[in-house]
């Protein structure tokens, strides 16, 4: 297998494949709260984005097209003709690209705490420049503050610390290149082409991709549905694991036999 993406696989080999894409600055471990339940019904494949986790870090800048085509090559290498797909943040952006430009490869789609266009571009380019010059710790506190509500951070500091460590372990070059992909991204004009039944999940208290961004995605994707998770910021699947897991199981179980 020639893929540059690191994969973590759980669940029965014969079950339908559920592909999980994580957020900017995290890796496959972000999905740990959901894996056990999802893997009872699906072949769960978690992947690290280019420049993240244990995946390759090719020179940047990256684009959503590059990230999406890398994922398609991985599916081809695995001989997987179609998947159900759930992605959070950057993972959701890649999922929208995949469902738009390779619609035959996505049966059902879940988009969590994400956006189809997330400006201003200058902000993302400035963040890329910062981590290239000063490393990941330079942005870690500000980023993690947007991942969790203050109440959760106070109650579960060990969870916050685990995810902060995941962020600071990310390659600065890979993170910066993905920031540049987000800076150049505007998926909105083509979302009407998405045919997969789509669930959009928003964190009610997400300052990074507010609920308004989820509503726009729902408006643009035919027959998409919105679910808002209370008491959750950007990493809603970590902050409210049971509620997010229930939403995903309900959505994907409807299409288990597709």
For residue range 16-62, list pLDDT tens digits in order. Answer: 999 999 999 999 999 999 999 999 999 999 999 999 999 999 998 89
> Quick check: is 24 in a domain?
yes
The mean per-residue pLDDT over the stretch 109-114 comes to: 98
Task: Decide if 244 is inside a domain.
Answer: yes
Q: Given this model, what pLDDT does residue 61 score?
A: 87
Grade residue 253 by pLDDT with cuts at 50, 70 and 90.
confident
Q: Is residue 257 part of a domain?
A: no
- Domain tally, the chain: 1
Quick check: is 242 in a domain? Answer: yes
**234-246 as b/e, with b when 16 or more CB fall inside 10 Å?**
bbbbbbbbebbbe
**Residue 87 backbone phi and psi in degrees, to 5:** -140, 140
Q: Is residue 1 part of a domain?
A: no
pLDDT at 195 over 90: yes
In a domain, residue 2? The reply is: no
pLDDT of residue 255: 53
> Which of 192, 190, 210, 194 lies closest to 202, judged by CA?
210
Residue 207 is part of a domain; what is its CATH number? 3.40.50.1820
**Whole domain around residue 208: which residue ranges?**
7-252
Q: Report pLDDT digits (tens) over 126-174.
A: 999 999 999 999 999 999 999 999 999 999 999 999 999 999 999 999 9
SS3 18: strand
- Do 131 and 138 touch, CB atoms closer than 8 A? yes
Q: Indicate whether 104 belongs to any domain.
A: yes
Please report whether residue 11 resides in a domain. Answer: yes
Q: Band of the pLDDT at 1, cuts 50, 70, 90?
A: very low
| Nearest-angstrom CA–CA distance, 40 and 109 | 19
């Amino acid at each position: 297998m020639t893929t540059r993406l690191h994969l973590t696989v759980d669940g029965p080999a014969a079950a339908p494949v559920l592909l999980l894409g994580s957020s900017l600055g995290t890796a496959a471990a972000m999905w740990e709260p959901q894996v056990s339940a999802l893997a009872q019904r699906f072949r769960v494949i978690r992947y690290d984005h280019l420049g993240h986790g244990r995946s390759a870090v090719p020179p940047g800048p990256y684009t959503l097209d590059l990230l999406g085509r890398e994922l398609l090559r991985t599916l081809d290498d695995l001989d997987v003709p179609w998947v159900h797909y759930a992605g959070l943040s950057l993972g959701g952006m890649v999922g929208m690209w995949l469902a738009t430009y390779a619609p035959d490869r996505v049966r059902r789609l879940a988009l969590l705490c994400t956006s189809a266009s997330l400006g201003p571009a200058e902000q993302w380019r400035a963040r890329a420049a910062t981590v290239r010059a000063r490393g990941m710790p330079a942005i870690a506190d500000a980023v993690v503050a947007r991942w969790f509500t203050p109440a959760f951070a106070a109650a579960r500091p060990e969870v916050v610390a685990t995810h902060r460590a995941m962020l600071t372990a990310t390659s600065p070059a890979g993170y910066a290149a993905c920031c540049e992909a987000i800076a150049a991204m505007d998926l909105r004009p083509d979302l009407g082409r998405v045919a997969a039944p789509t669930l959009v999940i928003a964190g009610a208290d997400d300052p990074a991709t507010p609920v308004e961004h989820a509503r726009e995605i729902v408006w643009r994707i035919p027959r998409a549905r919105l679910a808002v998770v209370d008491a959750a910021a950007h990493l809603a699947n970590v902050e409210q694991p049971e509620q997010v897991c229930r939403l995903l199981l309900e959505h994907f179980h409807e299409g288990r036999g597709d």
